[in-house]
Amino acid sequence: MLLSFCTFAGFSQTAVQETKNDTTESKYINLVYGANLVKDEIQFPGAVIWSKDTRQVQFEHQGADLWCDVAVFYQKENRLKAIGNIRLKQGDSVLMTSGKMDYDGNTKFAKAYESVVLRSETSEGGDMTLTTDTLRFDREKQQAFYQDFGTVVDSANTLTSEIGRYFMDIKKYQFLDSVHIKNPQYILDSERLDYYTSSKNAYMYGPSTITGETYKIYCERGFYDTKIESGYGIKNTRIDYNNRIIKGDSVYFNKASEFASSTNNITVTDTINNTVTKAHYAEVFKAKDSVFATKRAVAISLVEQDSLYVHGDTLMVTGPPDNRIVRAFRNAKFFKTDMSGKCDSIHSAEKTGLIQLVRNPVLWNGENQMTGDSIHIISNVKTEQLDSLKVLENAFIVSLDSISKTGYNQAKGVNLYGKFKENELKIIDLVKNTEVIYYMYNDDQELIGINKTICSSIRITMANNDVEDLTFRRDPDGDIFPDKDLPLDSRKLKGFIWRGDERILTKDDIFDEDDNNIELIVIRGIENPIDIDAEEEERGQNPNDPINNIPIPEDESTEPNKRPKVKKVKASQ
């Protein structure tokens, strides 16, 4: 029922100005312009209804202006309902449009619905646009939030989520439930994501996946700079990168430099060659197709259904898949079920199937110890079975006499050549200046005598990694001595060294005490939450060091710009 009607064509500006001057510092909503006035006490008791003419109805409230086609204004309650082509402007940087809006002047709270659009200008001058069906805007807290799906578009990304909150003072979005970022270069999905519109930095919580053109990242807590496609994960992190899968407590990635690194409990899986590198620090260089690893580093590969473990203080895995090379430097060791060895460095080539033990090498095959200036183990690249063995210069093979447990069976020469059959060493040929000391027994395991012979070459036939037969070739000179006739000092060949206490019997023996007592890096933010607003501010203060909190050891990164500050503690593995 229409109770009264007035037409205020060209509403008195004097009256408006007086009202505005009286209420500028108050909490009350101020009418700036209104044309047509209606009152309807049945539908809108206590309200006046303003509608537009050639100009929209306009209100002002504590630094914000609102325009609309129709306004139901409850002046005493200090609230209004706006309808049609609504614009709410706050300062020079925030503009919200919608079809309808409820605004409470007491709480400075607006609820907008029907095709809501919020535009905000970033500190860099770019625009951010939020669209949703219903948006709540708390001007007191300077926060806007939605819970029925929204889309945010800025100069770099398009972000969507079911629930979102915008913190205007720090220009941060907090997205919840089905968060999705679409960028021409990548796609990001997360359970929860905090996004800073000025820096374009994203902080991820819960299961999150980033899929780029050449990589895929998964983590459950992480950081990502969406401008340069760089970031890190610090919980259950995995990066699929250039035919490798990288996992670790903390994993860092940078697309521009084609670099990734990882700290603590790392595995780098080569998906083509079926090899795994484990360590507590590793770096991956895509352009060089290489992996650098240290801190309890080990490379594990499959050799005919048996795992080969290669360890060194430092590991390097380089080259394309068909020509992978594994290098272990300093204190290098390897182990497989029936063979192990150690030396200063190991070089293993996928293309040739050649493993080289360099500098002071020792190899154990069953109970047999072999030494020389260098040792080569060759595999068949097609069958992946062991093919042959070379011990070059000063070749020496020794085994403890299995019956007496006091003497040593020995053979030496300039070079040693071995042949494998079905991964078992079957034939050993020693050549040039060869010598033998061998304990001989009858079927009742009674000592017949000790064979001591020199000749040009010797063939040793093996069975079950034990000597089955000796064949002396070309001018052998020697004899079988009764035990009592051969002095103890004549029972060892020149150059004899027994290294049985160094023998590697299990895969864990490749690690020494230092390896097993590594000081692990403390990764921030896993157990206790990080104040990411403070962290984001710190990033802004250090633009040339955007990843200064990534937990990677300063003394081990080979990338000088990727050395964050970290704290070390004693940690058991």
Is 469 contained in some domain? yes
Is 478 contained in some domain? yes
* Residue 370: CB atoms within 10 Å: 24
Check residues 523 and 123 and name the one with the higher pLDDT. Answer: 523
Examine the pLDDT at 108 and tell me if it is beyond 80: yes
Examine the pLDDT at 2 and tell me if it is beyond 90: no
Cβ atoms of 90 and 137 closer than 8 Å? no
Q: How confident is the model at residue 180 (pLDDT cuts 50, 70, 90)?
A: very high
Mean pLDDT of 278-287: 90
Examine the pLDDT at 43 and tell me if it is beyond 50: yes
- 265, burial (CB in 10 Å: exposed 0-12, middle 13-18, buried 19+): middle
- 445, burial (CB in 10 Å: exposed 0-12, middle 13-18, buried 19+): exposed
Beta-bridge mates of residue 345: 329, 358
Cβ atoms of 284 and 237 closer than 8 Å? no
pLDDT at 91: 84
Look over the chain and give the mean of its residue pLDDT values, rounded to a whole number: 84
Examine the pLDDT at 171 and tell me if it is beyond 50: yes
Is 466 contained in some domain? yes
Cα–Cα distance for residue pair 206/188, rounded to 1 Å: 13
Within 8 A by CB and 6+ apart from 178, the residues are: 160, 161, 162, 189
Cα within 13 Å of Cα(542), Cβ side: 12
Is 463 contained in some domain? yes
Give the whole-number percent of the chain exceeding pLDDT 70. Answer: 87
pLDDT at 121: 74
Mean pLDDT of 448-468: 88
Q: How confident is the model at residue 559 (pLDDT cuts 50, 70, 90)?
A: very low
Cβ atoms of 234 and 250 closer than 8 Å? yes
pLDDT at 21: 45
pLDDT at 132: 96
Full domain range(s) for residue 500: 386-510
pLDDT at 406: 87
Mean pLDDT of 111-126: 81
Q: Quick one: which of 236, 229, 193 has its CA closest to 211? A: 229
Which 3-state string (H, E, C) describes 547-568? CCCCCCCCCCCCCCCCCCCCCE
> For 203-241, b where at least 16 C-beta lie within 10 A, e where not — what string?
bbbeebebebeebebbbbbbbbbbeebbbbbbbebbbbb
pTM of the model: 0.76
Is 367 contained in some domain? no
Is 279 contained in some domain? no
Cβ atoms of 448 and 440 closer than 8 Å? yes
Examine the pLDDT at 551 and tell me if it is beyond 70: no
Output DSSP code: residue 361.
Answer: -
Total tally of structural domains belonging to the chain: 1
pLDDT tens digits, residue range 54-94?
999 999 999 899 999 999 999 999 999 999 999 999 988 78
Six-digit token string for 329 = 């430097």
Q: Quick one: which of 336, 278, 356 has its CA closest to 504? A: 336
Percentages (nearest 5) of helix, strand, coil residues in the chain: 5, 55, 35
Mean pLDDT of 290-307: 85
Is 422 contained in some domain? yes
pLDDT at 552: 33
Mean pLDDT of 389-402: 93
Six-digit token string for 26 = 């108050």
Q: How confident is the model at residue 415 (pLDDT cuts 50, 70, 90)?
A: very high
Tell me the one-letter amino acid at 180: H
The H-or-E segment that residue 160 falls in is strand 158-161
Examine the pLDDT at 572 and tell me if it is beyond 60: no
Within 8 A by CB and 6+ apart from 163, the residues are: 145, 146, 147, 175, 176, 177
pLDDT at 548: 37
Q: How confident is the model at residue 238 (pLDDT cuts 50, 70, 90)?
A: very high
pLDDT tens digits, residue range 335-392?
988 889 999 999 988 889 899 999 999 999 888 999 999 999 998 888 778 899 999 9
pLDDT tens digits, residue range 196-210?
988 889 999 999 999
Is 465 contained in some domain? yes
pLDDT tens digits, residue range 21-33?
444 456 899 999 9
The H-or-E segment that residue 513 falls in is helix 513-516
pLDDT at 1: 34
